Chain A
Amino acid sequence: MSERTERLSVFKTYKLYVGGKFPRSESGRVYEVTDGKNGDWLANAPLSSRKDGRDAVVAARKAFGGWSGATAYNRGQVLYRVAEMLEGRREQFVREVADAEGIGRSKAAAVVDAAIDRWVWYAGWTDKIAQVAGGANPVAGPFFNLSTPEPTGVVTVLAPQESSFLGLVSVIAPVIASGNTVVVIASERAPLPALSLGEVLATSDLPGGVVNILSGKAAEIAPSLAAHQDVNGIDLTGTAADLGLAKQLEIAAADNLKRVRRPRAAEDFTADPGTDRLTYFLETKTVWHPTGSLGASGSSY
């Protein structure tokens, strides 16, 4: 009889999430991710290239027609399904967030709970935002006139650097709730919760390509995404500590007039999110049609 040994655990190979699949970086590169407290090695994460960014945009564009054309009710159910799947994996994410952010278990549990609840919050918004942000306009003439919010298109999101999970969920959920598709660059230092979120999204009925998750250096990947002609908007939240990069990206984004959400100092992602992020990447479409003029001869029915 051989001696009983402690079981060797199985490590996870963290991979990108692009077009509903889990590829490695096409560059074959990885970088070392360490825990937020002691600097111990946690895993290797893919070090995405600019080409990975372009592939993600292709996937996001391909998904846009279907996702933006889905009913708001359907999008709401999908977002709620994400919350359901996350709840089931709660323990895993508590561990990953605790490691990533160097916080204790109970604090990490609060973060994960808040992130799950955030999906629920936005799940409920999908079929309400059109009535809040749009409506009938009382024009001075015989015309039906209706304004409706529509998604902007493909949006690149630079996720917050510090809040690696709640912050991440807080920036992508509102953008996809209204029908946009997203290419998100995860926190550079703490990308593992984001990469694991890809596994949750893949099992949540979310069509492939609606959310595409990249890990790596924002300074390397983001400039080509900011200049990309098939990206319609960019959220610079993750550049809050690097305003030089934020300015460079905003200038590049002007090439095709992307909608730019500038970084804001010290955002508190535990606070009530309101509708700011939900309405940021929306376009208003206004449709006119003549109403005719029944009863114009004086009859009042």
Chain B
Amino acid sequence: MASVFEYAPAPESRAVVDIAPNYGLFIDGEFVDAADGKVFKTVSPATEEVLSEVAQAGEADVERAVRAARKAFEKWSALPGAERGKYLFRIARIIQERSRELAVLETLDNGKPIKETRDADLPLVAAHFFYYAGWADKLDHAGFGPGPKALGVAGQVIPWNFPLLMLAWKIAPALATGNTVVLKPAETTPLSALFFADICRQAGLPKGVVNILPGYGDAGAALVAHPDVDKVAFTGSTAVGKEIARTVAGTDKKLTLELGGKGANIVFDDAPVDQAVEGIVTGIFFNQGQVCCAGSRLLVQESVHDELLHSLKRRLSTLRLGDPLDKNTDIGAINSAEQLARITALAETGEAEGAERWTAPCELPSSGYWFAPTLFTGVTQAHTVARDEIFGPVLSVLTFRTPDEAVAKANNTQYGLSAGIWTEKGSRILAVANKLRAGVVWANTFNKFDPTSPFGGYKESGFGREGGRHGLEAYLDV
């Protein structure tokens, strides 16, 4: 195994962010306590340090927030598109200005490495608002016929893996099209959404247009079931997504779901090994594998299996796991004790079912939630680690002989969110991409995102698209 060079610590300064000891819910432009006075603590998953105490929304708060959003809807939707767009441009610019602060905040609350929040999350957040800002006064030209109308109040529930980015994916198109929003961030990562509330204040956004309700699943369930919510957007697990689909059945609520995945990353024998290895690492270890579109199944052509695995293990041995605020860190903390327990249990199942486990040799910090990069070889399609979404830094390696077999195995899943193809042969890329039942196919790259590029799944990975012109449809009466 290659040894890791010693690096001096290079921590990003915490001083750029000022976290208050407590936060309220953001309803109708004000920070307020929960109606029942409940609060919960949000901790740094890297240290288990309590970062802040946050008001916990309940049903009464959902009622208040939806009422505020409804009240704001009439004026907001009647505003000329150009004016709505300018609010969004303001928000985009303020996010750019405050991006270092928000990157540090996100890393503290989520546990992901600062190099990811700084170089991926925050630039994409600002870009998303900038992109949809431009759509606000061009909706007549979006291909949905003349004068498409906003739906009303959007109830949005987002996950903890990309807290601010998922907020941007939800709020930017909703506001651009003239809807108002009640958004529930995940219970383990409420802080960046609350900082976003402050950005709305700085941008002068009218009261009630954006409402933020930190809380647990019960608040999310109350929000999606609320009779005055016209649009439900959810990103999270497939099980919860199905429950939401049942909840909105028989109503007029428009629904989009962005759910789980078990993406296949297919490596053919002609792929350049070093590039493929980098792509595999990006595919499954970006954000500790806590990514719905992760390339969590490696399908490698049998003839290059040994060579590829040798290089992959050597590369994984050089990944730096530790302090997420350190600029050299590759692998940060797992987001919560609960998620760590789930990853641990699934990895144990992998071993128990007979797959061979290999773990990167790295030292885990003594406090916080950590899981070393892990891969399983000798995996068959029947193994749990090849079927269930692990949502952690665990890669299952399967083999194939022919392109047809690769496609059949890649598609053998209830999910259909992402896939990867590594080969030098152009016609093979196009043929395989054509056959894959997945919403996003990365060829000779992986985990690339852009506001102009529609994102979303086939099959049980959900429906509807976020991003691009397609992303407008979810928020318009078309």
Contacts and interface: CB of A to CB of B under 8 A. Distances in A.
Interface of A: 132-133, 137-141, 143, 145, 147, 152, 232, 243, 246-247, 250-251, 253-257, 259-260, 262, 274, 276, 283-290
Contacts of A232: 459
Contacts of B470: 147, 284
Contact of A283 (B259, B442, B443, B458): B458
B438 interface: yes
A257 B249 CA distance: 12
B443 A288 contact: yes
A139 to B, nearest CB: 4
A197 to B, nearest CB: 29
Contacts of B245: 250, 253-254, 257
A139 B460 contact: no
B404 to A, nearest CB: 12
Contacts of A262: 252
Contacts of A138: 452
A287 B456 contact: no
B342 interface: no
| List of 4 A-B pairs having minimum Cβ-Cβ separation, nearest first | A247-B250, A254-B245, A250-B249, A139-B450
Given A284-B470, A286-B441, A288-B448, A257 B242 contact: yes
B439 interface: yes
A230 B349 CA distance: 28
Quick one: which of A138, A140, A141 has the most chain B CB within 10 A?
A140
B463 A287 contact: no
Contacts of B478: 276
B438 A285 contact: yes
B455 A286 contact: yes
Contacts of A243: 250
B453 A250 contact: no
A298 to B, nearest CB: 25
A141 B465 contact: no
A129 to B, nearest CB: 12
Contact of B439 (A250, A256, A283): A283
A257 B238 CA distance: 9
Interface in B447-472: 448, 450, 452-456, 458-460, 462-463, 465, 468, 470
B468 A137 contact: yes
A289 to B, nearest CB: 4
Given A143-B450, A286-B453, A288-B448, 14 more contacts: A139-B452, A143-B448, A145-B452, A145-B453, A152-B458, A254-B249, A285-B433, A285-B436, A285-B438, A285-B441, A286-B439, A286-B440, A288-B441, A289-B444
Contacts of B155: none
B176 interface: no
Interface in B207-222: none
A140 B143 CA distance: 23
A133 B144 CA distance: 10
A284 B465 contact: yes
Given A257-B462, A287-B441, A289-B443, A251 B450 contact: no
B168 interface: no
B445 interface: yes
A286 B445 CA distance: 13
Quick one: which of A143, A251, A289 has the most chain B CB within 10 A?
A289
B429 A286 contact: no
Contact of A285 (B145, B414, B439, B468): B439
A141 B438 CA distance: 22
Given A247-B249, A257-B242, A259-B463, A289 B458 contact: no
B241 interface: yes
B453 A251 contact: no
Given A285-B438, A286-B439, A289-B429, A143 B445 contact: yes
A152 B454 CA distance: 16
B194 interface: no
Contacts of B145: 274
B231 to A, nearest CB: 14
A254 B468 contact: no
Contacts of A254: 242-243, 245-246, 249
Given A137-B453, A255-B242, A290 B460 contact: no
Given A247-B249, A250-B249, A139 B445 contact: no
A147 B455 CA distance: 10
A116 to B, nearest CB: 26
Contacts of B452: 137-140, 145
B398 interface: no
B257 A257 contact: yes
Contacts of B443: 287-289
16 contacts: A137-B452, A138-B452, A139-B448, A139-B453, A140-B452, A141-B450, A143-B448, A147-B453, A147-B454, A274-B145, A284-B456, A284-B465, A285-B439, A286-B440, A286-B454, A288-B442
Contacts of B429: 289
Contacts of A141: 448, 450
Given A147-B470, A285-B441, A286-B440, A257 B241 contact: yes
A140 B438 contact: no
A257 B459 CA distance: 7
A71 to B, nearest CB: 12
Nearest to B465: A284
A141 B439 CA distance: 20
A4 to B, nearest CB: 62
Nearest to B254: A262
A137 B454 contact: yes
B249 A251 contact: yes
Contacts of B454: 137, 147, 284, 286
Given A286-B455, A288-B440, A147 B468 contact: yes
A209 to B, nearest CB: 19
Contacts of A283: 439, 458
A276 B453 CA distance: 22
A257 B417 CA distance: 13
Contacts of A250: 245, 249-250
Interface in B399-448: 414, 429, 433, 436, 438-445, 448
B55 interface: no
A261 B379 CA distance: 39
A139 B455 CA distance: 13
Nearest to B456: A284
Contacts of A286: 439-441, 453-455
A209 B441 CA distance: 29
